[in-house]
Structure 1
Amino acid sequence: MSVDPAQLRELAADIAREAGALARQRRAAGVSLAATKTNLADIVTEADREVEDLIRTRLAAERPGDGFLGEESGAAVSTTGVTWVVDPIDGTVNYAYGMPTYNVSIAAVQGGTDPGGWQALAAAVHAPALGELFEASRGGGSWLAGEKLAVTTETPAGALLATGFGYDPATHDGDLATVREVMPLARDLRRMGAAALDLAYVAAGRLDGYFERGLKPWDFAAGSLLVQEAGGMVSWLDAASARPMTVAAGPALHARLLSVLSDEK
């Protein structure tokens, strides 16, 4: 089966719209808690599972043989070379609390399920409660509502940065220490609670940069391509550790963030 990144982007965007509509419908009807993940703060809703089922079913019908890596339903091996990496509701806690900053994140990658060996081909990050759909394809740029996106390249007043914290209380001191190290570069800091949306905002120039430890592949697969296709850079520090650091920004700020974070004690 041929691989056209633009066609994969169109498919990802179409499915993300349908999945986002379902997520929003289920939120309006009331969220029920299905289970817990690592602890009580990291929740899974029935909506997560329904939305992922919808995405997986659509992809199986449209591109049989493609692989799948989802937050809720695990992995399926690809026979085509293409794998879809999916977070059905990124920002689940926001979603459960009725905050609009959640999204459906869908990426198509080539090269398997290991982020260290894959090449992202297409991405869609849809925030249904905000009415925004960010799209990208390899070599085709990043887009929002027909407008091509570009990362910020200058931060004369300091960088507007975003980050996130893990749900394990044992990691909070380390996360706060990282913030202290980075703040000399910052104009201010944002903490939105949805990694894919943070990355999409870097791509759109709404944030200058983003850093966070402990992201999973489905958290950054789509968002990282958005940043790269908007002219930015994404790197991972301590990639072999249990909590690697994702760093995303325009080239100049990216280098400055890496310099600070690489020296982090």
Structure 2
Amino acid sequence: MPDVNAELLDLARSIALEAGELVRSRREEGVEVAATKTAPEDIVTAADRESENLIRGRIAAARPDDGFFGEESEATAGKSGLTWIVDPIDGTVNYLYGIPDYAVSIAVVEGDPDPNTWRALAAAVVKPATGEVFTASAGGGAYLGTSRLQVATGKQLSLALVGTGFSYDSRRRGLQAEAVSGLIPRVRDIRRIGSAALDLCSVAAGRLDAYYEKGLKPWDHAGGAFVASEAGAKVTGLHGVPASRALTIAAEPGLWAQLEPILDELGVVDR
């Protein structure tokens, strides 16, 4: 019998690579803001839209019965029970400024496109500026290229490099900065890279020891969270509920157990 997850992964990888090459080439040509969304800082480029259109078209041609849920276009339900969760450029501000930390993220999930209930089957996260390809399939592990990823165990929080991100809303950013100020004396250091997908893949690859962020949309974390999970990270919200807009925490389970109560204490969800 064919390995359906492997077939889904192959499709996700090939489309993400094609979209990645598109956005990389568009970056070389120059980038302009096409629109803003929730705030003037929250931007969309023409390349975001072009990338999503390409991805959506390739998926529709290969799997017309699947649903689609992307950042830049209208969601559509499918008939197969599978939905593709797509961020055509994660880290658009980095992309605008020529910072290489941006990614194309494609995941396919079973069930409704709700991170509280879905079951991820395959994902590919491509970093076009470097050509790196992170992949994962259900039960098949996580990879960077052909190298299998496995999070290290035994890390103490005081020696942990922790990634996070901030809201586009200035008031919420201020509150998030207060939480960071309470966390930073308890860890090795903090990194704010600007792409949730790459932050989560960095946990899988050992470039970050842990990551947390409030306010992520499904397309922000679907691919990267699955890569981290298949590499052995615990990826949840507060108190072990599924990762969602309320909060996403990713770390090796022992480190997660050290970090989670501090985030609870600092009020990263409720404030």
What TM bracket, shorter-length normalisation?
over 0.9
- Deviation of 1:3 (Å): 7.5
Conservation of the 8 A alpha-carbon contact between 1:214 and 1:244: yes
**1:166 counterpart = 2:171:** no
| 2:253 paired residue among 242, 251, 254 | 251
Could you say what secondary structure the match of 1:120 adopts? strand
Deviations 1:5-26 (A, max 9, x none): 1211111010000000000011
In the alignment, the residues of structure 1 paired with residue 65 and residue 245 of structure 2 have an alpha-carbon distance, to the nearest angstrom, of 31
- Deviation of 1:213 (Å): 0.8
Deviations 1:195-241 (A, max 9, x none): 0000000011111000111000000001111011001111113979x
Residue matched to 1:131: 131
How many residues are treated as equivalent by the alignment?
Answer: 263
Could you say what secondary structure the match of 2:237 adopts? strand
In the alignment, the residues of structure 2 paired with residue 102 and residue 113 of structure 1 have an alpha-carbon distance, to the nearest angstrom, of 23
Could you say what secondary structure the match of 1:75 adopts? coil
Conservation of the 8 A alpha-carbon contact between 2:214 and 2:248: yes
Deviations 1:58-79 (A, max 9, x none): 0001111100000000211020
Q: Quick check: which one's strand share is greater? A: 1
**1:192 counterpart = 2:193:** yes
**1:75 counterpart = 2:75:** yes
Structure 1 counterpart of 2:62, which letter?
A: E
Conservation of the 8 A alpha-carbon contact between 2:217 and 2:245: no
| RMSD (Å), alpha carbons | 1.7
Conservation of the 8 A alpha-carbon contact between 2:232 and 2:252: yes
Conservation of the 8 A alpha-carbon contact between 1:182 and 1:257: no
In the alignment, the residues of structure 2 paired with residue 199 and residue 127 of structure 1 have an alpha-carbon distance, to the nearest angstrom, of 13
- Map 1:115-154 → 2, pairs under 5 A: 115-154=115-154
- Deviation of 1:99 (Å): 0.7
Conservation of the 8 A alpha-carbon contact between 1:163 and 1:191: yes
Conservation of the 8 A alpha-carbon contact between 2:234 and 2:250: yes
Query: Closer, same or farther in 2 for the Cα pair 1:243/1:17, shift >3 Å?
Result: closer
In the alignment, the residues of structure 2 paired with residue 186 and residue 74 of structure 1 have an alpha-carbon distance, to the nearest angstrom, of 41
Q: Percent identity?
A: 54
In the alignment, the residues of structure 2 paired with residue 3 and residue 35 of structure 1 have an alpha-carbon distance, to the nearest angstrom, of 41
**Unmatched 5+ residue regions in structure 1?**
none
**1:98 counterpart = 2:89:** no
Structure 2 counterpart of 1:116, which letter?
A: N
TM-score normalised to structure 2 length:
0.93
TM-score normalised to structure 1 length:
0.95
In the alignment, the residues of structure 1 paired with residue 29 and residue 187 of structure 2 have an alpha-carbon distance, to the nearest angstrom, of 40
Deviations 1:72-118 (A, max 9, x none): 00211020011000000000000000110000000000011111110
In the alignment, the residues of structure 2 paired with residue 185 and residue 130 of structure 1 have an alpha-carbon distance, to the nearest angstrom, of 32
- Deviation of 1:131 (Å): 1.5
Residue matched to 1:6: 6
Query: Closer, same or farther in 2 for the Cα pair 1:40/1:63, shift >3 Å?
Result: same
- Deviation of 1:155 (Å): 2.4
In the alignment, the residues of structure 1 paired with residue 171 and residue 10 of structure 2 have an alpha-carbon distance, to the nearest angstrom, of 41
Residue matched to 2:211: 210
**1:221 counterpart = 2:200:** no
Conservation of the 8 A alpha-carbon contact between 1:125 and 1:133: yes
Conservation of the 8 A alpha-carbon contact between 2:71 and 2:86: yes
